[in-house]
Amino acid sequence: MDAQLLEIRDEVFRRNPGETEFHQAVNEVFESLAPLSARHPEYANAAILQRICEPERQIIFRVPWVDDAGKVQINRGFRVEFNSALGPYKGGLRFHPSVYLGIVKFLGFEQIFKNALTGMPIGGGKGGADFDPRGKSDAEVMRFCQSFMTELYRHIGEYTDVPAGDIGVGGREIGYLFGQYKRITNRYESGVLTGKGIGWGGSLVRPEATGYGAVLFAQEMLKTRGQTFDGQRVSVSGSGNVAINAIAKAQSLGAKVVTASDSGGYIVDEAGIDVELLRQIKEVERGRISDYAVRRGSSVSYVPDGSVWDVDATVALPCATQNELNDKHAARLLDSGLIAVAEGANMPCTAEATALFQEAGTLFGPGKAANAGGVATSALEMQQNASRDAWTFEHTEERLTDIMVNIHESCAATAEEYGMPGNYVAGANIDGFRRVADAMLAQGLI
Ligand code: NDP
Ligand code: 2IT
């Protein structure tokens, strides 16, 4: 990183104290930008970097609700509207006890560049709350969502800001949020949220899109070395929306996926994960990964508390949460013959782990490229809502595939253009950044 970038980065750190995940995400992007800044002095003249790191708007609000025992609960809600150069703010909502401003800002910052890479007209934003949906009844989740939307509704809209799901926010929560938005505004504004149910404005393929997209991106990376998913031994972390659909897609391409996890532990299934059983346990019954081991029987071992990254694999798909895969895990995986990593989650690999993978020449697809299929399909949902149309599964999946192939191609081409062939981190950061920077330049100092 050159002196000018370093100075701007340090100023961002100073202005946002204690937000370690945000610092990490900013640092990673800045580390890629020196060659771009050298070619584009006009970005520095217009303070593009400083502006891109400062959210356009940050909203923090109280979310009061009453639990089933009649007790008042208070949570904190967030929406960070980061950048609207390319379109309305777009990005998910995360409900998890670990949520605070630094998490929302790291996710929102990543989202700016990810959304740019999709080529769709969407800006970057993210939100959520420190609410823990685990162990809550449906009625409690509904009351929380209604209270959350009672504040959020005034900040969002089809042309303003379009939230969707993330950790802890799936179809159930989007339903309750949409219902409350509609009730308060008296508008059936389908395009205000994505990830809706199929019968009321949702898009086919949106539930599968992030996991499918991550596997499609990995497939494109493997192709560059004359390899495929067929016969690979794949490790997946998590057992939520992204993980389950990544497992399904990888297995449909001939891989054997042997792991899945949650915050309680992980399972190893040497016969290959039974996706239908996993869906039943996690999506229908809202159970735990330990239940999978009990129900599946003797081919499966359950390891409480351990890390899924202690298991040998040739392809790793981290699909749980940030910083789940560290340098020790990376070194172990490399020893076991790892050839590719695609980040289904946002920033699941620590900076040190990423560096080890890159030094070893492992194919490495960063989250902002590899998991962009989810938000890209959200943009396809917005497109269907705007035209009051509903596309078939096949057509939508074809669009998703084209988008992932294009993202891979443009990251690879940009890395090549800047003298770093095969470096998808640099390719994604530079290409995402310049798309946003060029729009910001054109739109003046705002
Ligand atoms: P879900 O809530 O459906 O699943 C999250 C999974 O990750 C669960 O298995 C959960 O286990 C595990 N997990 C969450 N937090 C932790 C933690 N602190 N430690 C260990 N395990 C944890 O979320 P998604 O599948 O939607 O999201 C997974 C990742 O993918 C996130 O990084 C998200 O930002 C990213 N992503 C999601 C997209 C989407 O469309 N949904 C799009 C692009 C990226 P447990 O139940 O025990 O908490
Ligand atoms: O991290 C992400 O890209 C998401 N959680 C999906 C965002 C969206 O608007 O679909």
- Predicted confidence (pLDDT) per residue in 248-273, tens digit: 999 999 999 999 999 999 999 999 99
Round the average pLDDT of the chain to a whole number and report it: 98
Whether 426 and 358 have beta carbons less than 8 Å apart is answered as no
Three-class secondary structure of residue 40 per DSSP:
coil
**Looking at the predicted structure, is the pLDDT value of residue 298 above 90?**
no
- Does residue 249 have an active-site annotation? no
Whether 218 and 342 have beta carbons less than 8 Å apart is answered as yes
> What percentage of the chain reaches a pLDDT higher than 90?
99
Task: For the beta carbon of residue 240, count every other beta carbon within 10 angstroms.
Answer: 23
Q: How many angstroms separate the alpha carbon of residue 213 from the centre of ligand 2?
A: 12
State the greatest distance between any 2 C-alpha atoms of the chain, in Å, as a whole number: 64
439 membership: H or E segment, kind and range: helix 424-442
Q: How many angstroms separate the alpha carbon of residue 142 from the centre of ligand 1?
A: 20
How high is the pLDDT of residue 1? 86
Identical fold for domains 3-187 and 208-365, yes or no, is yes
Whether 224 and 235 have beta carbons less than 8 Å apart is answered as no
Cβ–ligand 2 distance for 122 under 6 Å, the answer no
**Looking at the predicted structure, is the pLDDT value of residue 343 above 90?**
yes
Secondary structure letter of residue 169 according to DSSP:
B
How high is the pLDDT of residue 126? 98
Whether 229 and 315 have beta carbons less than 8 Å apart is answered as yes
300 membership: H or E segment, kind and range: strand 300-304
The CA distances from residue 130 to 55, 61, 77, 115, 141, in Å, are 20, 11, 7, 25, 13
Give 140-143 contacts, CB < 8 A, sequence gap 24+.
140/65, 140/67, 140/68, 141/172, 141/173, 141/176, 142/176, 143/65, 143/66
Cβ–ligand 2 distance for 79 under 6 Å, the answer no
Q: How many angstroms separate the alpha carbon of residue 243 from the centre of ligand 1?
A: 8
**Looking at the predicted structure, is the pLDDT value of residue 375 above 90?**
yes
How high is the pLDDT of residue 79? 99
Q: How many angstroms separate the alpha carbon of residue 163 from the centre of ligand 2?
A: 8
d(CA 141, CA 176): 8
Whether 115 and 407 have beta carbons less than 8 Å apart is answered as no
Cβ–ligand 2 distance for 374 under 6 Å, the answer yes
The per-residue DSSP string of 104-160 comes to: HHHHHHHHHHHHHHHTSS--EEEEEES---TT--HHHHHHHHHHHHHHHGGG-BTTT
d(CA 421, CA 415): 5
pLDDT in tens, 168-203: 999 999 999 999 999 999 999 999 999 999 999 999
How high is the pLDDT of residue 150? 98
Region 151-161: mean pLDDT is 98
> What percentage of the chain reaches a pLDDT higher than 70?
100
208-365: CATH number: 3.40.50.720
- Nearest listed ligand to the Cα of residue 377: 2
Tokens 């800047």 identify what position? 418
How high is the pLDDT of residue 359? 97
Q: Which of 90, 126, 249, 282 is catalytic?
A: 126
Kindly indicate the confidence band of residue 299, based on its pLDDT and cuts at 50, 70 and 90.
Answer: confident
pLDDT in tens, 215-244: 999 999 999 999 999 999 999 999 999 999
**Looking at the predicted structure, is the pLDDT value of residue 8 above 90?**
yes
Mutate to test the pocket of ligand 2, among 169, 375, 404 (most ligand atoms within 8 A of CB): 375
Tokens 């949902």 identify what position? 381
How high is the pLDDT of residue 188? 98
Domain 3-187, second-level architecture: 3-Layer(aba) Sandwich (3.40)
Alpha helices of 297-361 — where are they, by DSSP H? 327-335, 351-359
* pTM tops 0.85, yes or no: yes
Task: Enumerate the domain spans of the chain.
Answer: 3-187, 208-365
Kindly indicate the confidence band of residue 297, based on its pLDDT and cuts at 50, 70 and 90.
Answer: confident
Nearest CA among 203, 197, 239 for reference residue 392: 203
Q: How many angstroms separate the alpha carbon of residue 91 from the centre of ligand 2?
A: 5
Tokens 């509904």 identify what position? 142
**Looking at the predicted structure, is the pLDDT value of residue 82 above 90?**
yes
Give the ligand 1 atom nearest the CA of 264.
Answer: 47
d(CA 232, CA 248): 14
Region 425-440: mean pLDDT is 98
Mutate to test the pocket of ligand 2, among 94, 117, 166 (most ligand atoms within 8 A of CB): 166
